[in-house]
Structure 1
Amino acid sequence: MEKFRQVLKDINELIVFKHSVFALPFIFVAMITASKLENGSMWFGLKLLVLGVLCAVSARSFAMAFNRYMDEDIDRPNPRCANRPSVDGRIGRGNLLLFIVANAVIFLVVAYFINSLAFKLAFPILLILGGYSVFKRFSEIAHLVLGLCLGLAPIAGAVAIGASVPLWSILLCLGVMFWVGGFDVLYSLQDLEYDKSAGLFSIPSRYGSDAAMFISSLFHAITIIFWFLFCISANLGFWAYLGVVIAGVILWQEHRIVRKDFNKIDKAFFTLNGYLGIMFFCFIFFDLWNY
């Protein structure tokens, strides 16, 4: 039993399960929005709730494990990554590959039981999820590729409910893409010097910290624009718009913290962005409740 607990602990450390707080609120935002617009009720049933969670968790586990598998050669020399289970030997490459394949299979099987469109889209989604690990080796747009990986969550949520891709889900996706891309640029400031020495294509390593801060701010400004457009497209009300405004304030505070002290990047990265996702869901939920 103790060995099993240690395996679970290592897997949790590998995929950083607590970071699911970034994507899960947005898949549920899409699901309750689609359900309310199409069926007049936010409740879409226990079956889709379970299948939606399984899809989100398996997709994220696949993406994180694949990234660790592909990045072992660049994680190993990086002091910040030296204690990761994929680097220090706690999870061998064979077991890691098995974990990747298992989560890909789970994702595809669950998508099959949702609807035919979800199953068809599941294959290109897996390719996109794996793409981040490749892009960081030759292009600065890797930050936005990572953002797209999480941004697909609201599109997946809409597809699960209505077997279609409405405009509002695309706008919500683009907002999430630039939101994640923006805070990933900030997070990459921690590895600026290492990325330079390793020849990796992060925005901070290519253009410096000042340019990275500006680009991150630009990404987050675009985020707010897309989320306002999402509210307009979905015909949402006051509480949804207020949620977007508060999201903008949280992002402003995030940049304020990082500008003052790069050592607080972890606080800005996880704490504030985690609150943002949950807050955004709550405001959309309350708005749809009074729709």
Structure 2
Amino acid sequence: MQDLKQKLKDFNELVMFEHSIFSLPFIFIAMVVAADGWFGFGLLFLGALAAVTARNFAMGVNRYADRDIDAHNPRTANRPNVDGRLDATSILIFIGVNALAFIVIAYLINPLAFKLSIPILLVLGSYSYFKRFSSMAHIILGISLGLAPIAGVIAVSAAIPIWSVLLALGVIFWVAGFDLLYSLQDMEYDVEKGLHSIPSKYGAESTLFISALFHGLAVLFWLLFVWAADLGFFALLAAAGSGLVLAYEQKLVRRDFTQIDRAFFTVNGYLGIVFFILIVLDRILA
């Protein structure tokens, strides 16, 4: 039993389960808007499971693919995928189990979700390999999380309305923007190992500018989402307020690069949760 608990703890550390907070709010935002309110406990359960298994799959693939990279990076050398706690076979089984679970959950949701389940997994798995040949990896990560609101609206309505695309575009640029900030930590290592990233290719100053540009685009698309979905004051407050949060994040990193973890995990976590709460308020009080 103790060995099982330790193994579960190692897998939790492998995928950083608590960081599911980045994708969960936006899948539920899409579901609330698509249903114009409460969408039911069944879809709540299936939506949460779909988001978690999809993320577990993506993180598992990333950790498996990056074993050689993580092993020589001082920042990541203590991860379970490289320090001996989890072997390659265990990680592959974890990836397969979560992929299968995601496909089954999609089947239970509706036919369109099932048809799109494997293409979604292919997109999620592709991120890990982009850094080896393209600095567009930041955008691919954004697309991976941007699929969350698309999946949410498909679960409720089996359709992809324009407002969900705008919401997803906001998520794409939000995630790509904060991934750029996070990748500043590995800029020198990426240069040394010949890995492709915007910081390693263009330097810190250009990265900060592109990150700020991406975050500006995120806010713009979220404002357009509010307009296209015909939402009200609280939704507008969520979109506009996200601009203030992201401006604070940019300021935090510019002031001190040691604040990157705080900006990445804390600030972005709160953004998603508050955005969701305001959207719920908007639908309740509409």
TM range (shorter): over 0.9
Structure 1 residue 110 and structure 2 residue 105: aligned? Answer: yes
Alpha-carbon deviations, 1:190-244, whole Å to 9, x = none?
Answer: 0010010111111111000000000000000000000001001100011111111
Q: Where do residues 114-129 of structure 1 align in structure 2 (5 Å cutoff)?
A: 114-129=109-124
Question: What is the distance in 2 between the residues matched to 1:250 and 1:211?
Answer: 21
The alpha carbon displacement at 1:82 in A equals 0.4
The answer to whether residue 273 in structure 2 is matched with residue 278 in structure 1 is: yes
Q: How does 1:195-210 map to 2 (within 5 A)?
A: 195-210=190-205
RMSD: 0.6
Give the AA of the match of 2:91: L
Indicate the percent of aligned positions where both proteins have the same amino acid: 58
Give, as a single letter, the amino acid of the residue that structure 1 aligns with 2:26: F
Give 2:177's aligned residue: 182
Equivalent residue, structure 1, for 2:72: 77
Is 1:167 matched with 2:162?
yes
Runs of 4+ in 1 over 3 A off after TM superposition: none
Q: Which amino acid aligns with 1:170?
A: V
Question: Cα offset for 1:3?
Answer: 1.3
Q: 1: CA distance between counterparts of 2:285 and 2:270? A: 23
Structure 1 residues 1-291: aligned runs within 5 Å: 1-36=1-36, 42-291=37-286
Could you give the per-residue CA deviations for residues 112-155 of structure 1, whole angstroms, max 9, x where no partner exists?
Answer: 01000000111110000011011111111110100110010000
Letter in 1 for 2:40: G
SS of alignment partner, residue 76 of structure 1: helix
Distance in 2, Cα, partners of 1:199 & 1:69: 19
Q: Equivalents in 2 of 1:67, 1:243: separation in Å? A: 31
CA distance in 1, matches of 2:169, 2:110: 24
Q: CA deviation at 1:62?
A: 0.1
Deviation string 1:151-176 (CA, Å, 9 cap, x unpaired) is 10000000000000111111000100
Q: Which amino acid aligns with 1:225?
A: L
SS in 2 for 1:79: coil
In the alignment, structure 1 segments of 5+ residues that lack a partner are 37-41
* Paired letter, 2:13: E
Say which SS state the counterpart of residue 38 (structure 2) adopts.
Answer: coil
Deviation of 1:278 (Å): 0.3
Question: What residue identity is the alignment partner of 1:208?
Answer: G
Deviations 1:78-125 (A, max 9, x none): 010100000001010001000000000000001001000000111110
Mapped partners of 2:196, 2:63: distance in 1: 17
Query: Match for 2:57: what amino acid?
Result: F
TM-score in terms of structure 2 length? 0.99
Aligned to 1:39: none
